[in-house]
Amino acid sequence: MDMKEAVFSRHSVRKYTDKKLPGEVIEKLNGLIEEYNAEGGLSIRLVTDEPKSFSGFMAHYGGFSGVANYFAMIGAPKEDLDELIGYYGEKLVLASQEMGLNTCWVALTYSKRPVAMERGEKLLCVISVGYGENQGKPHRSKPLSSLCRCEGEMPEWFRRGMEFVCQAPTAMNQQRFLFTLSGGKVNARSKGGSCAKIDLGIAKLHFELGAGKENFEWA
């Protein structure tokens, strides 16, 4: 499986088995985290064998069970922090899927308290990771045409980009963004809502994977 295939097989999984992450899997994930932190100026960390963040009322209410590992999505405050967290977090989600793991983005239904933080850092959300009891199920998507606008006829690469965007996870499945092709460039903007900028970063990664970075430029 490659990252593009992972886009279509990934669904949020909230129930996990007690199978631990093997040492080589942890090493591989930490290698990717190091690369993405350097690229995006972020401080993402993988936390393993820590069930406390998902053992309270909120996690139970959210339908989570067996979560013992998660990516803590951390960075120093800056204007584009949320979008970068979305973009690089989704890279980790898709890489995890490729490795046979399951994930779920979680901004609300967990407890922040057990996550170790340093001064000046901001924890935006976490992403649970582990071996799922199931593979989740596809979400309902808004029609592709309602998520984008095109000057003239829609090029095939743009349509493919939008097909990948429709698969992107978003907070409460809100899909509140608009992709516009104008003057040969693609503009992606959020229409607001909770976690909207994280959602936008996730969706932009999906667009790049579907459309092919060589076919367009961001406006």
Q: Which residues bind ligand FMN (CB under 6 A)?
A: 11-12, 62, 104-109, 125, 136, 139, 169-173, 195, 198-199, 202
Nearer to ligand FMN, 78 or 185 (CB): 78
Shortest Å distance, C-beta 97 to ligand FMN:
11
Q: Per-residue b/e over 177-200, b at no fewer than 16 CB within 10 Å?
A: bebebeeeebebebeeeebbbbbb
Nearer to ligand FMN, 60 or 149 (CB): 60
Nearer to ligand FMN, 150 or 208 (CB): 208
Nearer to ligand FMN, 16 or 105 (CB): 105
Nearer to ligand FMN, 33 or 168 (CB): 168
Nearer to ligand FMN, 14 or 181 (CB): 14
Shortest Å distance, C-beta 199 to ligand FMN:
6
Residue from 70, 169, 91, 85 nearest 124 by CA: 85
Shortest Å distance, C-beta 170 to ligand FMN:
5
Q: Sign of the C-alpha dihedral, residues 62, 46, 119, 198?
A: negative
How wide is the angle at C-alpha 99 spanned by C-alphas 210 and 128, nearest 5°? Answer: 90
Shortest Å distance, C-beta 214 to ligand FMN:
27
For 57, how many CA atoms within 13 A lie in the half-sphere containing its CB?
0
- Cα 16 to Cα 103, 134, 206, distances in angstroms: 9, 8, 25
Shortest Å distance, C-beta 152 to ligand FMN:
31
Nearest residue to ligand FMN, by Cβ distance, number only = 169
**CA–CA distance, 217 with 71 (Å, rounded to integer):** 30
Shortest Å distance, C-beta 11 to ligand FMN:
4
In 41-80, where does DSSP find H-type helix?
57-61
